[in-house]
Chains A and B, each alone.
Chain A
Amino acid sequence: MKEILSGNEAIARGAYEAGVKVACAYPGTPSTEILENTIRYPEIDSSWATNEKVSLEVGIGASFVGARSLVTMKHVGVNVAADPLFTLSYTGVNGGLVLVCADDPELHSSQNEQDSRNYAKFAKVPMLEPADSQECLSFTKLAFELSEKYDTPVMLRTTTRISHSKSVVELGERVTDLPEPKLVKNPAKFVMLPGNARPRHYVVEDRLTTLSKDGCNMPINRIELRDSKIGVITAGISYQHVREVLPEASVLKLGLVFPLPFDLIREFAAQVETLYVVEELDAFIEDQVKAAGIKVIGKEIISLCGELTPGRLKKAFGLPEHEQTAVEQLPGRPPNMCPGCPHRGVFFTLNQLKAYVSGDIGCYTLGFMPPLSAMDTCVCMGASIGMATGAVKVLPPEERKKVVAVIGDSTFLHTGVNGLMDMVYNKGAATVIILDNRITAMTGRQDNPASGHTLMDSPTNAIDFPMLCKAIGVKHIRTINPLDLEECKRVISEEMERPETSVIITDKPCVLIKREGVFTAGKALAVDADSCSGCRACLKIGCPAIEWIPSSGKKGKARIDALLCNGCEVCRQLCKFSAIQEAK
Chain B
Amino acid sequence: MSHKITNIVLVGVGGQGILLAAEILSETCMLAGYDVKKSEIHGMSQRGGSVVSHVRYGKEVFSPMVPEGEGDILFGFELMETYRYLTLLKPGGSVVVNDLCIAPPAVLIGQTQYPADLAGKIKSQVPDCLLVDGQNLALEAGNARTANTVLLGAVSKRLDIAENFWLESIERMVPKKAVAVNLKAFELGRSLA
In the assembled complex, A243 has its CB within 8 A of some CB on chain B: yes
Within 8 A of A (CB), among B119-139: 121, 125-126
Smallest beta-carbon distance B21→chain A, Å: 13
Pick from A4, A245, A309, A331 the residue with the most CB of B within 10 Å: A331
Question: Which residues from A are CB-within-8-Å of B46?
Answer: 338, 444, 512
Cβ 8 A contact of A556, one of B39, B69, B105, B110: B110
Do A168 and B39 have beta carbons less than 8 Å apart?
no
* B23-50 near A? 1/0 per residue, CB < 8 Å: 1001100100001111111111111111
In the assembled complex, B17 has its CB within 8 A of some CB on chain A: no
With A4-B30, A164-B41, A243-B63: A327-B84 Cβ-Cβ less than 8 Å: yes
Do A310 and B83 have beta carbons less than 8 Å apart?
no
Docked Cα-Cα span, A330 to B14, in Å, equals 18
Docked Cα-Cα span, A165 to B112, in Å, equals 35
* B88-110 near A? 1/0 per residue, CB < 8 Å: 01110000000000011111111
Docked Cα-Cα span, A539 to B108, in Å, equals 8
With A4-B30, A161-B64, A164-B41: A335-B49 Cβ-Cβ less than 8 Å: yes
Question: Which residues from B are CB-within-8-Å of A334?
Answer: 49, 104-105
Within 8 A of B (CB), among A2-34: 2, 4, 29-30
Cβ 8 A contact of B30, one of A168, A512, A548: A168
Smallest beta-carbon distance A53→chain B, Å: 23
Question: Which residues from A are CB-within-8-Å of B23?
Answer: 4, 166
**Which of A256-264, A316-324, A514-522, A569-577 makes up part of the contact surface?**
A316-324
Docked Cα-Cα span, A330 to B87, in Å, equals 13
Question: Which residues from B are CB-within-8-Å of A556?
Answer: 110
Cβ 8 A contact of B69, one of A30, A322, A547: A322
Interface size in chain A (residues, C-beta < 8 A): 60
Question: Which residues from B are CB-within-8-Å of A336?
Answer: 47-49, 105
Pick from B37, B38, B107, B109 the residue with the most CB of A within 10 Å: B109
Cβ 8 A contact of B62, one of A241, A337, A544: A241
Do B26 and A166 have beta carbons less than 8 Å apart?
yes
Docked Cα-Cα span, A556 to B121, in Å, equals 27
Q: Which residue of A lies closest to B27 (CB)?
A: A4
Q: Is the interface of A mostly helix, strand, loop or mixed?
A: loop
Question: Which residues from B are CB-within-8-Å of A369?
Answer: 105
Do A161 and B86 have beta carbons less than 8 Å apart?
no
In the assembled complex, A442 has its CB within 8 A of some CB on chain B: yes
Do A330 and B63 have beta carbons less than 8 Å apart?
no
In the assembled complex, B168 has its CB within 8 A of some CB on chain A: no
Do A324 and B87 have beta carbons less than 8 Å apart?
yes
Do B105 and A544 have beta carbons less than 8 Å apart?
yes
In the assembled complex, A398 has its CB within 8 A of some CB on chain B: no
Q: Which residue of B lies closest to A327 (CB)?
A: B86
Q: Which residue of A lies closest to B88 (CB)?
A: A324
Smallest beta-carbon distance B35→chain A, Å: 6
Docked Cα-Cα span, A167 to B26, in Å, equals 9
In the assembled complex, A523 has its CB within 8 A of some CB on chain B: no
Do A324 and B68 have beta carbons less than 8 Å apart?
yes
Cβ 8 A contact of B65, one of A4, A309, A335: A309
Do A167 and B61 have beta carbons less than 8 Å apart?
yes
In the assembled complex, B147 has its CB within 8 A of some CB on chain A: no
With A4-B36, A311-B67, A311-B68: A335-B47 Cβ-Cβ less than 8 Å: yes
Docked Cα-Cα span, A337 to B44, in Å, equals 10
Do A330 and B108 have beta carbons less than 8 Å apart?
no
Cβ 8 A contact of B64, one of A240, A321, A363: A240
Question: Which residues from A are CB-within-8-Å of B70?
Answer: 310, 322
Smallest beta-carbon distance B138→chain A, Å: 14
Do B103 and A547 have beta carbons less than 8 Å apart?
yes
Smallest beta-carbon distance A13→chain B, Å: 16
Q: Which residue of A lies closest to B41 (CB)?
A: A108
Do A363 and B110 have beta carbons less than 8 Å apart?
no
In the assembled complex, A332 has its CB within 8 A of some CB on chain B: yes
Smallest beta-carbon distance B190→chain A, Å: 22
Do A322 and B68 have beta carbons less than 8 Å apart?
yes
With A4-B30, A109-B44, A325-B87: A333-B67 Cβ-Cβ less than 8 Å: no
Docked Cα-Cα span, A303 to B115, in Å, equals 34
In the assembled complex, B13 has its CB within 8 A of some CB on chain A: yes
With A240-B64, A325-B125, A542-B105: A167-B43 Cβ-Cβ less than 8 Å: no
With A168-B36, A544-B108: A109-B86 Cβ-Cβ less than 8 Å: no
With A165-B37, A328-B115: A309-B49 Cβ-Cβ less than 8 Å: no
Docked Cα-Cα span, A547 to B81, in Å, equals 18
Smallest beta-carbon distance A356→chain B, Å: 24
Do B108 and A321 have beta carbons less than 8 Å apart?
no
Docked Cα-Cα span, A4 to B61, in Å, equals 13
Do B105 and A325 have beta carbons less than 8 Å apart?
no
Do A330 and B115 have beta carbons less than 8 Å apart?
yes
With A311-B68, A324-B87: A332-B115 Cβ-Cβ less than 8 Å: no
* B50-69 near A? 1/0 per residue, CB < 8 Å: 10000000000111110111
Question: Which residues from B are CB-within-8-Å of A309?
Answer: 65, 67-68
Smallest beta-carbon distance B172→chain A, Å: 11
Smallest beta-carbon distance B69→chain A, Å: 3
Docked Cα-Cα span, A167 to B40, in Å, equals 12
Smallest beta-carbon distance B119→chain A, Å: 14
In the assembled complex, A550 has its CB within 8 A of some CB on chain B: yes
Do B110 and A536 have beta carbons less than 8 Å apart?
yes
In the assembled complex, A366 has its CB within 8 A of some CB on chain B: yes
Question: Which residues from B are CB-within-8-Å of A512?
Answer: 46
Docked Cα-Cα span, A326 to B87, in Å, equals 6
Do B109 and A539 have beta carbons less than 8 Å apart?
yes
Question: Which residues from A are CB-within-8-Å of B44?
Answer: 109, 335, 442
With A548-B110, A550-B110: A240-B62 Cβ-Cβ less than 8 Å: yes
In the assembled complex, A371 has its CB within 8 A of some CB on chain B: yes
Smallest beta-carbon distance B191→chain A, Å: 27
In the assembled complex, A486 has its CB within 8 A of some CB on chain B: no
Do B42 and A333 have beta carbons less than 8 Å apart?
no
In the assembled complex, A132 has its CB within 8 A of some CB on chain B: yes
* A224-245 near B? 1/0 per residue, CB < 8 Å: 0000000000000100110111
With A4-B27, A547-B108: A29-B43 Cβ-Cβ less than 8 Å: yes
5 A-B interface contacts by CB (under 8 A): A168-B35, A310-B63, A547-B108, A548-B107, A556-B110
Ranked nearest first, the 6 interchain pairs of A and B with the lowest CB-CB distance are A322-B69, A548-B110, A335-B47, A109-B43, A335-B49, A310-B67
Q: A314-B67, A539-B110 are in contact. List 14 more A-B contacts (CB 8 A).
A: A164-B42, A165-B64, A166-B64, A167-B35, A240-B62, A244-B62, A245-B67, A309-B67, A310-B65, A311-B67, A325-B125, A331-B80, A336-B49, A546-B108
